[in-house]
Amino acid sequence: MERIARNACFGGWQDVYRHTSAVLGCPMHVAVYLPPQAQQRPVPVLYWLSGLTCTEQNFITKAGAQRYAAEHGIMLVAPDTSPRGDGVADDPAYDLGQGAGFYVNATRAPWAAHYRMYDYVRDELPALIEACLPAGSQRAIAGHSMGGHGALVLALRNPGRYRSVSAFAPIVAPGQVPWGEKAFSAYLGDDRELWQQYDSCKLLASATERLPLLVDQGEADDFLATQLQPERLRAAAAAAGHPLTLRLHPGYDHSYYFIASFIGDHIAHHARALFAAD
């Protein structure tokens, strides 16, 4: 990895790296916060997946997470949300193409050549982080909106890979809302049975690991009724007997003001799991 930016932050370092992804077939940027404890020993890692239109910059500049990561001794890793570049397929709309990878492995042309964010986040990125940086083997995952969808899906489909998971305003049933229907039709085709492998509500029924889910949702979110529908997750978790803490917050919207208000709770949630005795 090539470091292209570095800023001192809460006793540690907020870095941005560039690397060539073999999985995505393009250069990628990834933001990494190294807490001060990383100067003495390997530290656990929290992977953050951002939402539509975001890059690696949104979380590190708006969430205020570094303060809490420094207190707990956790590395934060925030990749870009999709492959990018002149040779990468794109769409004029904000909710498809570059900036809208949806954390799936695309199977349809022209998207399949580059849009394999699921494999990138699950395999290639952590292997790179653990090989190049003082990262321990303890991993957690979180995200917002499209990234919340990605975090839940990755945790539910990969038992034992993550010690904890959380999400802000996640898209919990993408196959039943406009954002997901548009993206999945393009990336995966029209067979809705194939979509279920990226649907948190469907995955809960067959999850073999009972990793507790922490989800925060603002009640003033403009996308609450049309795109997010957290009540679907509540019903699916109850039916499966899966532990879920779903917190609804009056007055809060979909923005990073909401995330900044509760990111400390989420990092504490992950710290309890990451530092629990093996």
Of the candidates 50, 82, 145, 200, the residue annotated as catalytic is 145
The domains located in the chain, with CATH, are 1-273 (3.40.50.1820)
CA distances from 244 to 34, 129, 168 (A): 30, 29, 13
Q: What is the pLDDT of residues 192-215, one digit of tens each?
A: 999 999 999 999 999 999 999 999
φ, ψ of residue 106 to 5 degrees: the values are: -65, 145
221 is catalytic: yes
pLDDT in tens, 55-112: 999 999 999 999 999 999 999 999 999 999 999 999 999 999 999 999 999 999 999 9
To the query of whether residue 19 is one of the catalytic residues in this protein, the response is: no
CA 54 to chain centre: 12
- pLDDT (0 to 100) of residue 278: 59
Q: Which of 276, 8, 48 is nearest to 146 (CA)?
A: 48
Asked if 233 and 201 touch (Cβ cutoff 8 Å), the reply is: yes
Q: pLDDT tens digits, residue range 142-179?
A: 999 999 999 999 999 999 999 999 999 999 999 999 99
- Which helix (H) or strand (E) covers residue 247, if one does? strand 244-249
Residue in 149, 242, 254, 270 annotated catalytic:
254
Marked catalytic residue, from 221, 266, 269, 270: 221
